[in-house]
Amino acid sequence: MKTAKEEVRELLEHLPEDPSLEDIQYHIYVRQKVQKGLDAAREGNVISQNEVEKRMSRWLER
């Protein structure tokens, strides 16, 4: 398992040569959110498509 520092280094290697600090922060934020979603899916903390549609239909009726 990579350390956070290793992951940030790897992320920086894939960015253009002149990213702003805001760009770097954004990419770290997105990476964290994607990882959080993958972890939730692996742990079974997800809802079905039918449940999503049911919840969305209530929001859209308003």
Are 7 and 31 in contact, with CB atoms under 8 Å apart? Answer: yes
**What confidence score (pLDDT) does residue 37 get?**
96
Residues 1-59 pLDDT 10s: 899 999 999 999 999 999 999 999 999 999 999 999 999 999 999 999 999 999 999 88
Average pLDDT of the chain is 94
Q: What is the dihedral of CA 7, 10, 12, 15, to 10 degrees?
A: -130
Domains: count for the chain: 1
Using a cut of 0.85, tell me whether the model's pTM lies above it.
no
Look up the domain containing 53 and give its range. Answer: 4-61
State the CB neighbour count (10 A cutoff) for residue 8.
Answer: 15
